[in-house]
Structure 1
């Protein structure tokens, strides 16, 4: 079982967690996020990104950077460095995208919410970070 810690960027104290099994699909992860946040739109409208540099081959996004994002300090850096590999195939398995040992203190999933999906304050004046959620993961 994988536990994903998520937070809505720009909303203090918005951390929450979701659990998915390693054999679950990207589609199941979207369903878990939608259910937890009680979004009123179809789960397939969420966009998920692997939060790793170099198109999924580099380092994970660090959780300390999440704190900086909440303050609106580095949203453009995150978009340009980490949002390169979209988890767009709903049939992909969680185990094929995440290692069996997930490092503590790192962010693993970036989720972009459709514009009508949230009324949360925005971090930037434009771009993808107007509506997004960031998630950190650990394995139980």
Structure 2
């Protein structure tokens, strides 16, 4: 089992953990995420977009949970969004073990979850445009 910390993009206070088998697929991860947040995610699991929360692609640094908090407060520039949402987990058949290293640093967010418009019941936050590309057209609370 691997413990992944996830955050729903644009939803304040949405960081949560998911335990999943390393041999499970990305499709199974989407289902686990939906099961973990049934009141906040009100769409089919396969409609979720998942992104590795890493700077750049490959060996980039993981998004630190403290940086996620700073983003919500608008303390980090808008470029952060484009720096952390470069690698989408789009193939539902990919295995978790092929996308995440065997050791993941503590205090980091591993998966950014984008819920389609009308697929969330939680109030959305704009964060000064940090997540606008991800939730364009979605209702926001400024």
CA displacement at 1:32 relative to structure 2: 0.4
Q: Taking structure 1 as reference, are residues 80 and 95 closer, same or farther at Cα in structure 2, changes over 3 Å only?
A: same
1:20 aligns with 2:20: yes
What is the alpha-carbon root mean square deviation over aligned residues? 2.1
Contact (CA 8 Å) 2:65, 2:108: kept in 1 or not?
yes
Question: What is the distance in 2 between the residues matched to 1:114 and 1:69?
Answer: 21
CA displacement at 1:41 relative to structure 2: 1.4
Q: Residue in 2 aligned with 1:107?
A: 109
- Flag structure 1 segments of 5+ consecutive residues without an equivalent: 132-140
Question: What is the distance in 1 between the residues matched to 2:16 and 2:60?
Answer: 26
Higher-helix-fraction structure: 1
Higher-strand-fraction structure: 1
1:120 aligns with 2:123: yes
Please, which moves more after superposition, 50-59 or 104-113? 50-59
Aligned partner of 2:100 among 98, 101, 122:
98
Deviations 1:92-131 (A, max 9, x none): 1000011111111112111111111114222245321567
Question: Secondary structure of the equivalent of 2:61?
Answer: coil
Deviations 1:43-70 (A, max 9, x none): 0110011111222331111111011122
Q: Taking structure 1 as reference, are residues 30 and 110 closer, same or farther at Cα in structure 2, changes over 3 Å only?
A: same
- The number of residues matched between the two structures is 130
Contact (CA 8 Å) 2:7, 2:113: kept in 1 or not?
no
Question: What is the distance in 2 between the residues matched to 1:25 and 1:81?
Answer: 25
